[in-house]
Amino acid sequence: MKYINDPNRMQIEIIKKTYIFSIIPIVYALIAGEFETLLGFILGLIISTLLLRLRVLNIERSLDMPEGKAETFIRNRYFIEYLIYFAVLVVAKRNPSLNFLATAVGLFMMKFTVIIWAIFDMAKGGLQNKLKDYKDLKEDKYEKGGQ
Partner 1 sequence: MRKGDNKMVEFSPEVIDTVIRAAALLGAGFAMIAGIGPGIGQGYAAGKAVESVARDPEARGNIITTMLLGQAVAESTGIYSLVIAIVLIFTI
Contact positions vs partner 1 (CB under 8 A): 1, 3-7, 10-11, 14, 52, 55-56, 59-60, 62-63, 65-68, 70-75, 78-79, 81-82, 85-86, 89-90, 93-94, 100, 104, 107-108, 110-111, 114-115, 118
Please state the closest distance from residue 129 (CB atom) to partner 1, in A.
22
Please state the closest distance from residue 55 (CB atom) to partner 1, in A.
6
**Residues 98/91, Cβ–Cβ less than 8 Å:** yes
Rounded Cα–Cα distance for residues 75 and 34 (Å): 38
Please state the closest distance from residue 40 (CB atom) to partner 1, in A.
13
Closer by beta carbon to partner 1, 97 or else 147:
97
Please state the closest distance from residue 124 (CB atom) to partner 1, in A.
17
Rounded Cα–Cα distance for residues 131 and 142 (Å): 16
Helix axes 100-146, 67-94, angle to 10 degrees: 120
Closer by beta carbon to partner 1, 4 or else 24:
4
Closer by beta carbon to partner 1, 72 or else 137:
72
**Residues 45/16, Cβ–Cβ less than 8 Å:** no
User: What amino acid occupies position 47?
Assistant: I
Helix axes 7-32, 35-62, angle to 10 degrees: 170
Closer by beta carbon to partner 1, 10 or else 26:
10
